[in-house]
Amino acid sequence: MSWCGENICLRIRREYVILNSTNGALSEVFASGRVAPPLVVSLPSGELLLGKENIGVFTDQNGKLLPEGRICWSEAPTNIVIQKLYAIAMLLRFVEI
């Protein structure tokens, strides 16, 4: 779960959803995958990085996918930290940047 502007990004069952905190509207973003744990990271720009197995997908504050691309990891990360221009992922046995 993570705040994103006036919205909250949640994982309910196997779906990422965006909950608008002012009007209560709930909108689906995409399926989060079967194996990997949910992963929601707020970016300094106000956008989100959402985990789907071994891929990190960028969305805006409303859950709309951004065309800037995605990050592919060698396996599903358990945690991600954003530091300036870098995304640092903690994997089961090592760290990827």
Would you tell me how many other CB atoms lie within 10 Å of the CB of residue 66? 13
As a whole number, mean pLDDT of residues 31-41 equals 73
Instruction: Tell me if the pTM is above 0.75.
Output: yes
Cβ burial of 91 (10 Å; 0-12, 13-18, 19+) is: middle
Mean pLDDT value of segment 55-74: 85
The token pair that represents 82 in the structure block = 């954003």
User: What residues does 15 pair with on adjacent strands?
Assistant: 12, 31
Question: What is the CATH number for 57?
Answer: 2.40.128.630
Domain region containing 33: 2-96
Structural domain total, the chain: 1
- 61 backbone dihedrals φ, ψ, rounded to 5°: -65, -20
pLDDT band of residue 33 (cuts 50, 70, 90) is: low
